[in-house]
Every structure is written in C-alpha cells, then in structure tokens.
Amino acid sequence: MASPLHIEKPEQPQLAKHDSSVLDLVFAMDCTGSMGSYIESATQNIRSIVEEIVTSEKSDIHLALVEYRDHPPQENTFVTRVHDFTKKVKEMKGWLEQCEAVGGGDTPEAVADALHDVLKLSWRPEATKICVLISDAPPHGLDPSNGDGFPEGDPSGVDPIKTVREMAEKQITLYVVGVEPSIVPYRDFFMSIAYITGGQYVPMVNAKLLAQVIIGGVREEISLERLMQDAQEDINREMKQAEEEGVDEQEVTARVNRLLISKKARVKQMENLGGATSSLARETYSKCVDMKDLRSQYKVEPHPEPVFRTRRTRAAYRRELEESAEDEAESPTTTTTATAESAAAPMSYDLREDAVSMAQTERIVQRMRHKK
C-alpha cells in the first residue's frame, strides 16, 4: 500500500513593514475665523475624497482630525481638539460639521500643538501615514514683528521643528495646504517642515479645490510608497555608495533619479509648481535644529509671487523677473502686462502618470533616510 503523500507546508512569509494599501489620513485644520470656507469644503467633500481614494487605490482608510486655534489669552475656547482615527466616514464628517471658524487673536496660531497631537495619534505601524495641515498663519515664535503674543515660542514648550523630525522618523508625510496670500510671508517655514518629512507645500487660494489637492496628494504618496517598496534595496545601495564617495545631496538625488528612470518606473504626479521648495527652505531652514535656531535665520518673504499653470518653475520665474527688470526702462508697459497676465493664471493640481521627477526623487531620498 502506497504511503500517504506528504506535502511540506511552506512557512508564511513575513508581512511587509509598510503597506501602501493601508492608509492613515489625518487633517490638522486651523479653525480660527478666517478658515470658514476651507472647513466647509472639507466637510462637503470628505465622502467623495474617501470614495475616490478607495476606488482608485483600493485602500483601507482610517481618518482622524485635529482642530486647532490658539492659547489664552489670545483664544479661550480651545487650543486643540483631537479626534483619533476612525474607519467611519460618517463619524469624520460629523467631527467636521462641528468645526466652527471663530476667534484667533494675534496672527500666529497653535500650529506647534496641532503637529504634536498629530504625532501622538494611534497610527497603524504598517500604514502609509499622511497628515494634511491646512493653515493660513504661522506658529508662535517665528516672527516677533507680527504681534506674536508668545514671541519666544509656543507657551506649551512644544517645538514644531523637533516634532516634524519625530514625524519623519515615524514615516508620517506632511502635506501643508498653505492658504495664500496670508501665509506667503511664512511660506518658507511651511515648505521646510514639509520637506523634512518628504512631503510637499501646496499653495491654495480657492477652497473649492481642496478636495482635488487632497485626492491628488494622497494618490501621489501611495504611488511613491509603492515605488519605494519595489526598489528599496536598490535605492539604499545607490544612496550608500554615493554617500561613501562624499557627494553632495544634489548628486545623491540625481543618482537615485537615474536609477529609477532606468527601471522605467512611472508614478502619479500632482502638478504643484507653485509649491516648489525654495532653496532657503531646503538648504537652510530644514537643517535648523529647533525653532530658536530657525527664528535667528528666518527672513520674512515680503511679497507674493504668481503661480503658473505652465511647466515654468519658481526659479525660472525669478530669473525672468531679473531679466525683465533690465529691460523695463525700454518697454515698461509690455513687462507689466506680461507679469499681470501670468499672475492671473489659476493654480492647477492636475494628476498624471509619468516618469519619477527630480522633485519626487528628492522627497524619496528624504524619506528613505528615515526608513528602518
């Protein structure tokens, strides 16, 4: 009689440490008097935002909300109000419906406290972690000239620079939706904290586009997370070799970009030329050890710059301004008209699929440094 067939059961493979289909998404929202249209937009669109992400990315989404205002005596209602993660869209919508845009006091708000509360939420270890910070005002302790009631920093003692570094260590990617023009003088600060986490600053002047930005940003991040999972060993090897050779950050990014291009990698990209990280944010402010260090170096940006639908970058815009200034004496009317037309061009957040860009590679390199 034949002996029974014995089949050795294979061991279950270890689960990946990170799963791009598992998404934890939190909104950190300024709930002071000027933010009513953004609260309304988030409330009206939260269901369609989630449905779009679930349909397109097959994601398991948990949602959280951190509302923030300011400290007494500037604001006496609350500093922050925290709603930890839920998988129920109805519950998230209910939280948003309870948000009211009131108060605020001085110009700065409790940004530092909101970020600290975001860090302490019940994040799932395996999730792709995204925080969308929606703000139109700076944190305390950045610009003493703006009537800051707490010019030395947040009265709680929380330091936003240290907090975002902890967020980066925890693999939480920060998207800052900067409500312009009011946030423009502090745009480089918000670019810096987004850059530290491998995220993006997204300028916005129309609250009706908020849902498009959130959907586009989330889909891009999921796309990048999948790419990093697939190419993690190769990226780490390329970064290690570049660093052993002592090359600068720009060359490290260029080498990783060439590697990803050679793999014919294609990713989602949300158009965000108006949010291109400035050299000051990237090379100076993001390297500051704490808020005091940043404050000592910070230069308030005096005037808004136009945002374009075209592929022109912020740096290119500045070069053109310099060139046009030289010609202004000869044809001032033409120069003024061209600038006005460009400034009138609406912002675009279109999502497309393309080869991984240098800006995306720069963010990948930032995030890979914090991956365990």
Tell me the pLDDT tens digit for each residue of 95-134.
999 998 887 666 899 999 999 999 999 999 999 999 999 9
Please enumerate in sequence order all residues whose Cβ is within 8 A of that of 319, keeping only pairs 6 or more positions apart, or say none: none
**Encoded amino acid at 344, one letter:** A
Q: Which residue has the tokens 């934890």?
A: 24
Q: Report the percentage of the chain scoring pLDDT > 90.
A: 72
What pLDDT does 74 receive? 86
- What lies within 8 Å, CB to CB, of 245 at 6+ separation is none
Q: Is the pLDDT of residue 14 over 60?
A: no
Q: How far apart are CA 363 and CA 194, in angstroms?
A: 10
Chain position carrying tokens 């904290």: 193
pLDDT at residue number 355: 96
Instruction: Round to whole Å and give the CA distance between 280 and 9.
Output: 57
* pLDDT tens per residue, range 62-100: 999 999 999 998 888 999 999 999 999 999 999 999 998
State residue 47's pLDDT score: 92
Q: Are 364 and 224 in contact (CB under 8 A)?
A: yes
Task: Assess whether pLDDT exceeds 50 at residue 35.
Answer: yes
User: Chain centroid to CA 73: how far?
Assistant: 30
Average pLDDT, the chain: 85
pLDDT per position as a tens digit, 247-299: 999 999 999 999 999 999 899 999 998 999 999 999 999 999 999 999 999 99
Q: Choose between 302 and 364: higher pLDDT.
A: 364
The residue among 50 and 372 whose pLDDT is bigger is: 50
pTM of the model: 0.83
Is residue 178 very low, low, confident or very high in pLDDT (cuts 50, 70, 90)?
very high
- CA dist 327 and 323 (Å) reads 7
Instruction: Quickly state the pLDDT bin for 324 (edges 50, 70, 90).
Output: very low
Contact 88, 61 (CB under 8 A): no
Give tens-digit pLDDT for 55-66. Answer: 888 889 999 999
Tell me: the pLDDT tens digits for 133-173? Answer: 999 999 999 998 888 999 999 999 999 999 999 999 999 99
Of the pLDDT bands very low, low, confident and very high (cuts 50, 70, 90), residue 316 is: low
Q: Are 72 and 115 in contact (CB under 8 A)?
A: no
d(CA 252, CA 249): 5
